[in-house]
Chain A
C-alpha cells in the first residue's frame, strides 16, 4: 500500500515518500490560461496552490552563524549548516544545551524575516522539568511569538513531527528536545533537513550518546558558574565542547557567556576562565550583598 523498501520504524501509515502535488481542477484551468505564457518562458511553475509550492532555491544563507566569531571559525562554512543535524548534549536536568540550541535557533532568520521555530518535546518532560516560559525565552533572546510547541506523547510521534516540520520548511529551525535519535533516525532527520532547508537541532542527555552517529555536529554543553567579579549570579555561562564536526576539527572547547544587553554570545576572557574553573565558594559578603 505505497510503502518503500525500508521498513519504517515509526508508523505503519506513515508515507516515507513525499506525496506529489495533486493536480486539482484549479491547476488545470490555470494551466490552460497560462499555456502561452508558460511556453514563452515568462511564467514559471511554482505549484498548484500555496500549500504545495516547494520553496525556491533561495540565495539565503546555507549556514546559521552562532554570533561568536571564534566559534564560527571552528565550523566549516562559518556556521551551523542548514542542511544538517546538530546535536547538543549535556548532563540530565541541565538546561544548558537547550538554552544554547534555542539561542542558535533564534538566529536562523533569513532575508524574509524571522519565521516560526518548532520545538518538539515529550509530554512527560513537563512534569520533570517544567513548561517553557515565554518571559524566560525572551530573556535569552528568543522571541516567544515565534515558538510553536509540539507536545508529543512518545518518541515515535516526536520523530515523526520533527521530520514533518523539517520537510515543510516553513520554520527557521526545528528543535527536538529530550529524544536521542538513533542512527536511522539521524539519517532520516538529515535527509529531511536537506530537503526542507532548515537546521535540525536535537538536545538530549549526554548519557545516551551513541558511538556511531550521523550528525553533522555534536556539542557537549555544561553550565558554569559566573566569574568571580560578577555581581550576584551574573550572566549565564556555558562551556561548549565540540565533540564531533563533519568537515572540521573536533575536540575544541570554549567558555561562552550570554550578554543580555547585546543579545549575543561572547567568549569569556582568560582571566574569567581561570577563576571559573576553580569554583571557589563565594564569600559571605557576596551573599548578603545580594539579599
Chain B
C-alpha cells in the first residue's frame, strides 16, 4: 500500500498557546506581539506573530533593538516547558485520526495516515477536519499530505502548504527553496556563492562531483523523495485489536459513556473471537473537544473476550473519567492479548459440575482494590522463615507449589520479629516467662529448639542481600494510583537483630492459652548480647 504522511505546522505555536492559556483573542489594536526569552546580554525575541514578522523582525534579535524599530511592540515571556507539554498533548490527541502521531518539537506534528484516510471521507476531508479542529482551539495550522514524512515537512514550511498528490513528489519538491533542506551556516554560504537557490538545482548536481560537497542536503533530499528509507523516530507498533467510535455530538453524561463502552466492547470482542484471542489489558481512550485525552485502563488475570465481564470491570473505573466540555471520539485498544480458545462449560445441569474459574472474581477484586491487594502465597527457595514464603498478585490459574515441611510453623508470621523480654535458664532452655506488648505471660510448655542457621552465602548487608531484596519486591510496574505498598513478609527484621543470624526457635504454650513462636539469637556469638524475639503465633 502506498504510504501517506501528514505534516502539521503551527507557524505561531508559542503565541497561540500563550493566547489560549489566557483566553485572549487577537488584540483589537494592530500592535505586533512577540515572546521573549532571557539571554546573557538581555532578552531576545523567541516567537513572533504575523505582524511582527511583517515588520521584518527575526528570532534571536535583542528586544531592545526590536523596540527601537517598533516602539509599539508588545511582549511577554515565553514558557518553553508549557509549549513542549502542550505539543505533546496535541500529539496524543492527534491519535483520534491515526494511532501513529507524534510531536516534532518545537512546532509540528507528524502523522502517518496510511490506510486511515478513508475513515474520514478521504484525505482532503481529513485535513479539513484537522485544520478546523485546531482553529477551534485557537491555533493557526498548515497541514499537507505527501508520500514521505520529509516531503510533507518541507511542503508545509517552505512550500505552498498544499498536499502533494501521489507520485508527484519530485515535481513539487523541486520548486522549494534550498533552505527547505536545512543547510547549516557554512553550507548556506557555499550555496549562496554558487548561486544555488532551489532544490531543483541540488537535485541536478552530479553526485560524484559537486554534489559530494553537500552530503547532508542530498541525504535529506533522498529521504524526502523516497529513494532511501527515512530514519525517523522509532515507530510504535500499531495494535492489532482496535475499535474506534466517533460521536456526532460531544457526549458528557455517564449513560452516554456506558453506551459507547457497550458498542466498543462488542466490536472488539468480535475481533478477538476471529483470532481466537483474549485480552489481558485494555486501554480505552476518550478524546475530548479541548484537545486532551483521558485514559481508562483495566488489566485481567486471565485472557478474556467476554463483553459483559469486561464491561463490569470498566464500570468500576468509569467514575474517574472527566469529560470536560465533551468527548467526541473514543478508541478501545487491546495492547496485550493471549491465546484463548473457547472451552466447554459443564453441560447445564446434566453433570452437576460447578464452575471453578476464579479469574473473573479476581479481575473484579483487582480492578476495584488494586492488583497488589489480591494475592496468592508462594514458597520461595529459602529455609529462613521470613524469606521462605511470599505473596504474589493472584493470577487466573492457581499454581501448584511444593510446600516443604520443616518443623512446626505458625499460622501468622509477624512482618518484623518483635523483641520480647524473656527469662530463661541458661544455657539453652526455653523461656520461663516473657513479656510481649506490655503483657507478661508464663510459659507452661515448650517445644524445641529448632535451629535455623543463617544462609552461609549471604553476608550481612551485602550486595547479594540488596539484589535479592529488589528481586522479591512485589508491585505493579505501571504504578497504579490505588495500589498500596506491596504485601510481603518483610525482609528487614528489627533493627538491632543481626542479619543473618543463628536462631533457636521454640514453640511455647503460654498461660493465656495461646501458642507463640519465639527465638533466641546471640547465645553462641560472644560479641552479641543474647536476645529473644517473637516471630509468629500458632493456631
Interface residues of A (CB under 8 A from B): 1, 13, 15, 19, 21-22, 24-26, 44-53, 55-60, 93-96, 98-99, 102, 110-113, 115-116, 118, 123, 126-127, 129-140, 144-153, 157, 160-161, 164-165, 168-171, 197, 222-226, 230, 232-234, 236, 258, 279, 281-282, 286-288, 290-291
Contact = CB atoms under 8 A, between A and B. Distances in A.
Nearest to A12: B319
B247 interface: no
A24 B269 CA distance: 9
Given A26-B273, A116-B358, A225-B444, A131 B413 contact: yes
B375 A148 contact: yes
Contact of A127 (B373, B401, B415, B511): B415
Contacts of B511: 225, 279
Nearest to A161: B365
A111 B515 contact: no
Interface string B347-385: 111101111111011101100110011111111000001
B408 interface: yes
B308 A136 contact: no
Contacts of B350: 44
Contact of A233 (B358, B403, B414, B447): B447
B137 interface: no
Contacts of B345: 46-47, 50, 53
Contact of A131 (B362, B405, B489): B489
Interface in B294-320: 304, 306-309, 311-312, 315-316, 319
A-B pairs, 3 with minimum CB distance: A99-B539, A22-B308, A44-B348
A147 B376 contact: yes
Contact of B448 (A123, A134, A169, A291): A291
B373 A151 contact: yes
A288 B445 CA distance: 10
Contacts of B375: 148-151
Contact of A287 (B368, B432, B449): B432
Nearest to A290: B446
A146 B307 contact: no
A169 B539 contact: no
B538 interface: yes
Given A140-B539, A146-B398, A160-B368, A135 B405 contact: yes
A130 B350 CA distance: 45
B399 interface: yes
Given A148-B394, A149-B374, A150-B365, A53 B411 contact: no
A282 to B, nearest CB: 5
Interface string B483-522: 0100101000000000000000011110111110000000
B412 A133 contact: yes
Contacts of B270: 25-26
Contacts of B161: none
B386 to A, nearest CB: 9
B308 A48 contact: yes
B400 interface: yes
A135 B515 contact: no
Contacts of A115: 354, 356, 358
A125 to B, nearest CB: 9
Given A57-B349, A99-B539, A151-B375, A233 B509 contact: yes
B400 A129 contact: no
15 contacts: A13-B316, A26-B273, A50-B306, A56-B349, A58-B349, A99-B411, A130-B413, A131-B415, A133-B411, A145-B400, A151-B374, A157-B368, A164-B365, A233-B509, A290-B447
A243 B443 CA distance: 30
Contact of B446 (A164, A169, A233): A233
Contacts of A223: 512-515
A161 B379 CA distance: 26
Given A134-B403, A151-B373, A233-B446, A111 B311 contact: no
B536 A134 contact: no
A123 B398 CA distance: 23
Contact of A96 (B304, B487, B539): B539
Contacts of B379: 134-135
Interface of B: 254-255, 265-266, 269-270, 273, 304, 306-309, 311-312, 315-316, 319, 343, 345-350, 352-358, 360-362, 364-365, 368-369, 372-379, 385, 388-389, 391, 394, 398-401, 403, 405-406, 408-415, 428-430, 432, 442-449, 484, 487, 489, 506-509, 511-515, 536-539
B360 A168 contact: yes
Interface of B is mostly: mixed
Contact of B537 (A24, A46, A129): A129
Given A130-B414, A225-B513, A282 B444 contact: yes
Contact of A148 (B266, B358, B400): B358
Contact of B369 (A1, A150, A233): A150
Nearest to B304: A51
A163 to B, nearest CB: 11
Given A51-B360, A131-B489, A291-B430, A169 B354 contact: yes
A110 B354 contact: yes
Contacts of A224: 513
Contacts of B484: 123, 151, 153
Contacts of B394: 148
Nearest to B379: A134
Contacts of A55: 354-355
B296 to A, nearest CB: 14
A136 B352 contact: no
A138 B406 CA distance: 11
Contact of A134 (B309, B354, B374, B377): B377
Contacts of B449: 291
A152 B365 CA distance: 10
A56 B348 contact: yes
B507 A233 contact: yes
B367 to A, nearest CB: 11
A140 B412 CA distance: 12
Contacts of B311: 22
A146 B312 CA distance: 25
A58 B353 contact: yes
B432 to A, nearest CB: 7
Contacts of A164: 361, 364-365
Given A99-B411, A279-B511, 14 more contacts: A24-B306, A25-B270, A51-B308, A56-B353, A96-B514, A102-B539, A110-B354, A126-B415, A127-B415, A136-B539, A145-B400, A148-B374, A152-B373, A225-B509
